[in-house]
Amino acid sequence: MSTPLYSHAGRGDFREVYEPAEDSFLLIDALEKDADRLQRMSPCVCLEVGSGSGVVSAFLASVVGPSALYICTDVNPAAAQCTAETASCNRVSLQPVITDLVGSTGIEAAWAGGERGREVTDRFLPAVVQLLSDKGLFYLITIAENDPEEIIHLLSQSGLKGESCLSTRARNERLSVLRFHRNQQT
Ligand SMILES: C[S@@+](CC[C@H](N)C(=O)[O-])C[C@H]1O[C@@H](n2cnc3c(N)ncnc32)[C@H](O)[C@@H]1O
């Protein structure tokens, strides 16, 4: 499986859109590692919150296939447009939605800001508990400052079991992909 095309991200009309970086590629690597599991699960809906260029969802769509609906939210309208462009370049179908987190209806995430860089993540976690299906998986990118162990502990109190499934060091930061599922899942 190859990395989706994304050369339009971070330039021209999409200059304000997050250009895929180490965190994006680590998440892609984690999804690739889980490819068999994801294909067996055959999810109906895949949600990426903060899709930026859309490269992660484009990759996921190439792994899982066209039977799923791929919803990609971002607060940045240019990111939504960029996600649509990435979908078209890579011949996959993604549904960009411009909204805060998951909007009023209220899965991958990477943000900074607030205490320990967790402002957005902490707002999002209650929605994860509500939205994750019984067999679903939730992937979250963290840096050490986010205190991933505490996030795992917090979500365990809501019945989600989590672990770090992939880590790397990039620009002096420890990046980890956390993966969660409901406790009763085998
Ligand atoms: C670090 S980028 C990651 C982009 C993409 N997931 C990737 O891995 O390449 C974080 C993205 O989250 C978006 N974002 C930040 N706060 C958000 C919020 N409250 N709701 C939705 N998207 C948000 C930003 O606009 C940005 O595109």
Q: How far apart are CA 19 and CA 24, in angstroms?
A: 9
Inform me whether the pLDDT recorded for 185 exceeds 90: no
**Ligand 1 pocket residue status of 27, Cβ below 6 Å:** yes
* Pair type for strands 160-170 and 173-182: antiparallel
- Which ligand 1 atom sits nearest the alpha carbon of residue 123? 19
pLDDT of residue 1: 82
Residue 83 near ligand 1, beta carbon < 6 Å: no
What's the CATH fold of domain 12-35+43-182?
Rossmann fold (3.40.50)
Q: pLDDT for 22-36, tens place per residue?
A: 999 999 999 999 999
CB of 79 shorter than 6 A to ligand 1: yes
